[in-house]
Amino acid sequence: MIESASVGTALLPHNAPPSFHVLAKPTGAICNLDCKYCFFLSKEMLYPGSRFRMADDLLEQYIKQLIEGQRAQEIVVAWQGGEPTLMGLDFFKRSLAYEQKYLPPGKTILNTIQTNGTLLDEEWCAFFKANNFLVGLSLDGPRELHDAYRVDKGGAPTFDKVMRAAQLLQEYSVDFNILCTVHAANQNQPLEVYRFFRDEVKTQYIQFIPIIERATPELLPIANEGWGDAHHVRPLYVLDGSLVTDRSVTSEAWGDFLMAVFDEWVRHDVGDVFVQMFDAALASWVGLPSSLCIFAETCGNALALEHNGDLYSCDHFVEPKFKLGNIKQDLMIELVASERQRAFGNAKRDTLPKYCRECAVKFACHGECPRNRFIRTPPSAEYPNGEEGLNYLCAGYKAFFTHIDEPMRFMARELQLNRAPSNVRRYMAEKDASFARAFAQAGRNDPCPCGSGRKVKHCHGKTAQYHERSK
């Protein structure tokens, strides 16, 4: 057991990172919904017989260690699940009391919670507002797209409950963002999804996350059934196999989705709507380290805490072989700073295939998250069978980062000149107008004004004809 739990920042291990992020799961994998793509539901099998409720003494120990392990001025207390609101409000009130007890002068705390929203009511929203919580609300788009996979334990749709939560959060002026997963059901409707969030939910903050459920050939048929406890035979999800379920987004569709949303955003919404991935990309174009671990060169500072104190290398690696220890026996900061965890984070850079190391958009992508690196690179003279470890989403990311280069360069330049990146909207409008003029003057056999090198009739001419036909 921890004796003098007081670490004090002066006594932190020498290789402790300046700050680290922990996603804490007070109910473990337990959730009141049964979203079909949520492989995390199967992690319940890691703790047979557990009550799946974080005990009060562990809560206090966690908050204390989290605060004492950080050099940074602002400390983030992040709750996630499963569904964390199943713990009830009192749990979070106690958490705030421990924060007050252990927070030293001069430091601040930001509380965040990721929720499916179905249990939120006036009392929850008043609590969030009074305590400045930042709430992440899971919503996958308009009704049919959301309800395709996000269902309750009885298989019933959840859209109305989530929309009610969004409305309540707005009524109480709670800061919230939408977390939208992109999967087979909504991957081909990027604009419908984005405009719904912007125009109907009226949110300013949006995150898109790709659904990729890996499986081996043996497990694929069972994995396609879903991961919830409604399925009498279900495997424990582990990062294994190079196949994906039918619900998973395809690499090309992911790239197309991001490009379509970006094209809308960059023309109309920069400065008004914040899409997490686009902000992270802009940082890369400015030459700053990415704010998203998936696009950083190395990682290892975003860990996951289970309801019983087990600490894992990352929320996506809650598997026995990635368990670092238990914070009831080991100081959390020592686990965070351990050689093992540093090696986990550095492996993101050190295992990058040559194909990535030579990629023109590596500065923005960095091979994305290691959890998705399970395909082979295209064959080359050096690697006739391709190299292992390429990201499943590579084709999509390559297309996306290449596509956004010009407007990103423009925005980065504006920032360097202390001007607003939102000037890009005017830049894009002028560019579109000049393209429209050039296009109007070009013959079908002329080079396309877009610069593709193809003839108009094989490039945008084809698109224009298509649009005319479909009117």
Active-site residues, by number, are 315
**Phi/psi of residue 180, each to 5°?**
-115, 120
> Residue 460 CB, nearest distance to ligand SF4 (Å)?
26
Minimum CB distance to ligand SF4 smaller for 169 or for 364:
364
Minimum CB distance to ligand SF4 smaller for 307 or for 316:
316
User: For residues 386 and 379, is the Cβ–Cβ distance under 8 A?
Assistant: yes
Which residues here bind ligand SF4, judged by CB under 6 A?
293-294, 299, 302, 314, 316, 348, 355-356, 359, 361-362, 365, 367-371, 391, 394, 397-398
> Residue 75 CB, nearest distance to ligand SF4 (Å)?
18
Minimum CB distance to ligand SF4 smaller for 91 or for 355:
355
Minimum CB distance to ligand SF4 smaller for 265 or for 312:
312
For residue 345, CA distances in Å to 18, 61, 296, 442 come to 15, 25, 10, 52
Minimum CB distance to ligand SF4 smaller for 75 or for 318:
318
Q: What is the DSSP string of 404-418?
A: THHHHHHHHHHHHTT
Taking CA 252 as the corner, what is the angle to CA 251 and CA 254, rounded to the nearest 5 degrees?
65
Residues 92, 120: Cα–Cα separation, whole Å: 14
> Residue 367 CB, nearest distance to ligand SF4 (Å)?
5
Minimum CB distance to ligand SF4 smaller for 10 or for 381:
381
- A 10 A CB-CB count for 346 gives 14
> Residue 362 CB, nearest distance to ligand SF4 (Å)?
4
User: For residues 359 and 394, is the Cβ–Cβ distance under 8 A?
Assistant: no
Closest C-alpha to 37, from 259, 249, 277, 257: 249
**How are beta strands 302-305 and 310-312 bridged, if at all?**
antiparallel
For residue 339, CA distances in Å to 7, 15, 301, 324, 333 come to 19, 9, 13, 11, 12
Q: CA Rg, the chain, in Å?
A: 24
Q: What is the DSSP string of 208-219?
A: EEE---EE-TTT
For residue 97, CA distances in Å to 24, 59, 65, 450 come to 17, 11, 15, 59
Token code pair at residue 25: 């799961």
Token code pair at residue 338: 């351990």
Closest C-alpha to 117, from 81, 149, 92: 81
User: For residues 274 and 205, is the Cβ–Cβ distance under 8 A?
Assistant: yes
> Residue 428 CB, nearest distance to ligand SF4 (Å)?
24
Minimum CB distance to ligand SF4 smaller for 75 or for 314:
314
